[in-house]
A = this chain, B = another copy of it.
Amino acid sequence: MRTVTYGAACSLDGFIARRDGGVDWLKFTDDARAVMAEYWPRIDTLLMGRKTWEAAAKAGGGGSAGGIQTYVFSRTLTSVPAGATLVREDAADFVRRLKATPGKEICVMGGGELARALLAAGVVDEVGLNVHPVLLGDGVPFLPPAAGQVDLELAECRAMAGGCVLLRYRTVAPVKAPAKSTAKSNARRR
């Protein structure tokens, strides 16, 4: 099964960009570059929501490059330029199937809305944050509020250059409550 990771650089108060999209506060240190240089060769697939796609396309990126397959999840878009693939079906169902196909690791890009949906569906395996030493006050959250708790297991915690902290977690599959039908059938047996 292919590993799906949601990674982002965020402020201590959990924002990945200012309200206007500004990321002037991001520190591109050698440590951060080393983390990306180690991670990038392990993936062959990028997943992003519509807003992230549009922001990336505006910035001149957004297509697929270097053998990376990009999937854009949207129910409102009708097409995306060649190089990317539009997915209009339920994101969790699609990613669940994608994980079972052969391939390298899969990266969920922030925004956060897609990541939150995939986390809720239990198809994200790892969460990685590069926590920057700043309180932005307001902005785009690395995960928008949502119903449902996701338990994590700390995999790595490391101070990096510029006062940044790398936090890596593995998601913990929810413990399934015993099916009610079993209790019922036991009761019937008594």
Residues of chain B contacted by A120 (CB below 8 angstroms): 137
In the complex, per-residue mask of A150-177: 1 if CB is within 8 Å of any chain B CB, else 0: 1111100111000111010100000000
B137 touches A167 (CB 8 A): no
Complex Cα gap A1–B159 (Å): 29
Please report which residues of chain A, range 95-119, place their CB below 8 angstroms from some CB of chain B when the two chains form the complex: 119
Contact of A167 among B12, B141, B148, B150 (CB under 8 A): B12
Complex Cα gap A154–B14 (Å): 16
User: Within 8 Å of chain B (Cβ to Cβ): is A65?
Assistant: no
A153 touches B163 (CB 8 A): yes
User: Within 8 Å of chain B (Cβ to Cβ): is A127?
Assistant: yes
Residues of chain B contacted by A13 (CB below 8 angstroms): 14, 141-143
Query: What are 14 A-B residue pairs whose CB atoms fall within 8 Å in the complex?
Result: A13-B141, A14-B14, A133-B151, A133-B152, A133-B154, A133-B169, A135-B152, A137-B148, A137-B149, A138-B145, A138-B147, A152-B163, A154-B159, A154-B164
Question: Which residues of A are at the interface with B, using a C-beta cutoff of 8 A?
Answer: 12-14, 25, 119-120, 127, 129, 131, 133-138, 141-143, 145-154, 157-159, 163-165, 167, 169
